[in-house]
Amino acid sequence: MKPLCIQINWQRHFGGGELYTRFFSEALHTLGWETRIVVNRKATFWHDLGLEGVSFLPIDHGREIPDLLPQTPTLIVTHTTLPPDLAQRVAQQHRLAGFVHMPLADRDPRGLAHYHQLFAVSAYVRATILARSHQHVHAEPLLGVADLKPRAAAGGPLIRRSEYDWDRRKVRDRVLSWLEPLVEPLRPHPTFARRQGITLGIVSRLTPIKQFPLLFSHLAPVLAGFPEVRLEIFGSGGYASVRDLKQALAPIGSRVRFWGHQSDPASIYPQLDYVLSGLPEREAFGLNLIEAQACGTPVIAIGAPPFDETVLDGASGHLYTDPRQDGGASFAALMHRLTSGETRPDPRLAQAHLTQFSPAAFQDRVARAISGLSL
């Protein structure tokens, strides 16, 4: 009889934590575990992820979770931190572990105190957990996988889609989400084609944790001085995030294009010269950066945790000084080098670096992590 792991991820929107749930489930499957995932009933994307041998337990509210769990002690792994009362109740009967997908620098969910084990996705995240005095943290960061399988059914060519991912909890976003279907058919929906020059790209959800508006308030004035540099943005976000980003990018005008969310990032990365990260301190890992590198596309990121874990400077991409510290001087120097003909690094040649993000390496780390969670 296979050992059972029940995961809990009740997020309604697809993001890095949901992609992580996929490749963690695949690692468990390879290691011989049966897997069930508690999901939000309104999250419709799970059945498009190609998870073989995984069953889903849909819920409307977290209070339903205890009734879904077996009577016998079971390994429970969360991707969404449980509230304190629920975490305590689950931990009394089961072995409760959880991934920490975000740094705890400015937050500390109280439910974490009841967990038997916490898994950090990077050394940076692990350091922020320890700084909050949580000692039940697995010694090894689990990192992640360059998972390039489509997030949904194959989407064909890259066609411009809406750059908005409406947050229907907000009245403004909810109203605009009703109006957009009336306006969107009137807008052009071109197919993506590279333009001349150097193509920088963002392949990411446009969420506040990325801090893209703040980043480009420093970088856009620099990019304005390099007319051969283009910026292509693949991702969507809430109204305010997109509005603020567009305002920050005003200095480069028509050299930036928004393409909306795309379900097959593997078709995007090879068409870009470099992939850009956001600001570092709220980032946990940067899955999009290792995906790009696995496709042979180098990345450009600020030389600070967690990006110094995922980017090998000069080999898989370039690290530069935080523009909040030097006014963008380091980034400007990098742009000058790139536009002067510097050879673009090929991340695929950095084999030792990329190997740590392979499914096999991740599976080995998962095996070590769960081996200490005896029931």
pLDDT in tens, 76-124: 999 999 999 999 999 999 999 999 999 998 888 999 999 999 999 999 9
Counting runs of H as helices and runs of E as strands, what totals does the chain give? 13, 12
**pLDDT category, 288, cuts 50, 70, 90?**
very high
Q: Does the pLDDT value for residue 266 go beyond 60?
A: yes
**pLDDT tens digits, 221-248:** 999 999 999 999 999 999 999 999 999 9
Q: Does the pLDDT value for residue 155 go beyond 70?
A: no
**pLDDT tens digits, 122-152:** 999 999 999 999 989 999 999 999 998 887 6
At 189 the pLDDT is 83
Q: Is the peptide bond before 359 cis (omega within 30 degrees of 0)?
A: no
For domain 171-355, give the CATH superfamily. Answer: Glycogen Phosphorylase B; (3.40.50.2000)
Which long-range CB contacts under 8 A does 79-82 form with residues at least 24 apart? 79/7, 79/8, 79/9, 79/11, 79/17, 79/18, 79/20, 79/21, 80/8, 80/9, 80/10, 80/11, 80/17, 81/109, 81/111, 81/112, 82/8, 82/111, 82/114
- DSSP characters over 333-351: HHHHHHHTTPPPP-GGG-H
- pLDDT, mean of residues 330-348: 97
CATH match for 4-145+358-371 among 3.40.50.2000, 3.40.190.10, 2.30.30.60, 3.30.1240.10: 3.40.50.2000
At 58 the pLDDT is 96
pTM: 0.92
Amino acid at 14: F
Q: Does the pLDDT value for residue 174 go beyond 70?
A: no
Domains 4-145+358-371 and 171-355 share a fold: yes
Separation CA 345–CA 335 (nearest Å)? 14
Q: Does the pLDDT value for residue 166 go beyond 80?
A: no
Separation CA 77–CA 313 (nearest Å)? 34
Q: What is the mean pLDDT of the chain?
A: 93
Separation CA 95–CA 309 (nearest Å)? 30
Q: Which two tokens stand for residue 19?
A: 């992609």
Which long-range CB contacts under 8 A does 133-138 form with residues at least 24 apart? 138/369, 138/372
Separation CA 210–CA 207 (nearest Å)? 6
Separation CA 233–CA 220 (nearest Å)? 14
Closest CA to 55 of 34, 72, 73: 34
Region of residue 203 (left: phi > 0; alpha: psi -120 to 50; beta: else): beta
β-sheet bridge partners, residue 230: 199
Location of structure tokens 């950066």: 289
**pLDDT tens digits, 182-204:** 677 767 788 999 999 999 999 99
Sorted by sequence, the CB contacts under 8 Å of residue 247 that are 6+ apart come out as: 213
User: Which sequence spans correspond to the domains of the chain?
Assistant: 4-145+358-371, 171-355
